[in-house]
Homo-oligomer: A and B are copies of this chain.
Amino acid sequence: MGIAIKQTNPVKVVVDAMGGDYAPGEVVKGAVEAAQEFKNIEVVLVGPREAVQKELSQYETKGLKISLVPAEETIAMDEDPVRAIRRKPDSSIVVGINLVKKGEAAAFVSGGSTGAVAAAAFLILGRKKHISRPALGAMFESLKGPSMLLDVGANADCKPENLLQFAQMGSIYMQRIHGLAQPRVGLLSSGEESTKGNKVTRSAHELLAKSRLNFVGNVEGRDIPRGMADVIVTDGFTGNVVIKLAEGLGEMLGELFKKMNGGASLFKDKRVLNHTAGAMLLGVDGNVIITHGKSDSSMIKHSIQLAGRMVDQGVTEAIGAL
């Protein structure tokens, strides 16, 4: 089941050069910056040789641990994920995930189609033992610091057991990446009381209450920005609505504010509400980070750094040991 990830130093992180709205330009820029800054990381760009080399030629890469693995096809955002994965074996997503599968790299970072990356990860890497459904975990900046919401889109229909596993995976992530000894786990519901919610959440509440997790009970929509939990679990349908609503409201408020204030920005650089470092695909047999489709070079760099940390901290291995 488990693949042998070579955890030799440096950590090899594969980056999808064609993923995201500003690819390959911003992706290659972010990859170069990561290679300059993080000495323990080796960046492997995957994408069309000519296009990527053209971008790379703009930077001084001598002495940097950055290389190119060619992949001439690209999967578009609107393609059917599973079909695209099957029809485009030479796409940056399929080639990149395969490098992780073969143990030639430790992690994959992409700003491409969430559906396609998730499908490739499921089909090629497979899932960890005991994890019936991998989940997509998104990081939020709450009033009390970072918190993770999962699932945000991998599983539209969930069973109570899935939510329990999401909680376990999210707890491991927050322990290892954010150093929380006992991450507070909340179950997103339509009321604080255990009897509130739908059939799935009412059963999930019982499972979570019996678990050894630090379960703080149901949390409501308003508790998400307040930071009432470090890990908030929900089905992928509701989670997807939540992150997109937060994003839409953030944009709307930003626009309204600009209009009212002659173009001044509401939050300067700080991306309140928006997920900061993309989403982590937890429960598959490999480290996969799906960065925001509108990632600029700094977000790409940050995601590469995070991928390195996930490898160093053994997040995926710990999930496999559940």
A243 at the interface (CB under 8 A from B): yes
Q: How far is the CB of A243 from chain B (nearest CB, A)?
A: 7
- A143 and B249 alpha carbons, distance in the complex (Å): 10
CB-based nearest B residue for A198: B156
CB pair A237–B201 under 8 Å, yes or no, is: yes
* Per-residue contact bits, chain A 291-304, to B (CB 8 Å; 1 contact, 0 not): 00000000000000
Q: Which range contains the number of A residues in contact with the other chain?
A: 35 or more
Name the contact of A242 in the complex, choosing from B221, B223, B251 (C-beta under 8 A): B221
**CB-CB contacts below 8 Å: A249-265 with B:** 249-253, 256-257
Residues of B within 8 A of A257 (CB): 266
CB pair B153–A190 under 8 Å, yes or no, is: yes
A222 at the interface (CB under 8 A from B): yes
**CB-CB contacts below 8 Å: A209-253 with B:** 220-226, 234-238, 240-253
A157 at the interface (CB under 8 A from B): yes
Instruction: Determine the main DSSP class of A at the interface with B.
Output: helix
- A235 and B241 alpha carbons, distance in the complex (Å): 12
**CB-CB contacts below 8 Å: A168-224 with B:** 188-191, 196-199, 201, 220-224
* Per-residue contact bits, chain A 97-127, to B (CB 8 Å; 1 contact, 0 not): 0000000000000000000000000000000
Residues of B within 8 A of A64 (CB): none
A68 at the interface (CB under 8 A from B): no
**CB-CB contacts below 8 Å: A68-91 with B:** none
**CB-CB contacts below 8 Å: A122-166 with B:** 143, 153, 156-157
**Given that A221-B248, A249-B246 are known contacts, is A199 also in contact with B157, CB under 8 Å in the complex?**
yes
A306 at the interface (CB under 8 A from B): no
Residues of B within 8 A of A157 (CB): 198-199
CB pair B245–A143 under 8 Å, yes or no, is: no
CB pair B201–A222 under 8 Å, yes or no, is: no
CB pair B247–A221 under 8 Å, yes or no, is: yes
**Given that A153-B190, A157-B198, A199-B157 are known contacts, is A224 also in contact with B248, CB under 8 Å in the complex?**
yes
CB pair A245–B248 under 8 Å, yes or no, is: no
Name the contact of A222 in the complex, choosing from B189, B247, B266 (C-beta under 8 A): B247
CB pair B252–A225 under 8 Å, yes or no, is: yes
Given contacts A143-B252, A226-B252, A245-B245, 19 further A-B contacts (CB under 8 A): A153-B190, A156-B199, A157-B198, A190-B237, A198-B235, A198-B237, A220-B241, A220-B248, A221-B240, A221-B244, A221-B248, A222-B251, A224-B245, A225-B245, A225-B252, A249-B273, A253-B253, A256-B272, A257-B266
Closest 10 CB pairs of A and B: A222-B248, A221-B244, A221-B245, A190-B240, A156-B198, A221-B241, A225-B252, A222-B244, A198-B237, A220-B244
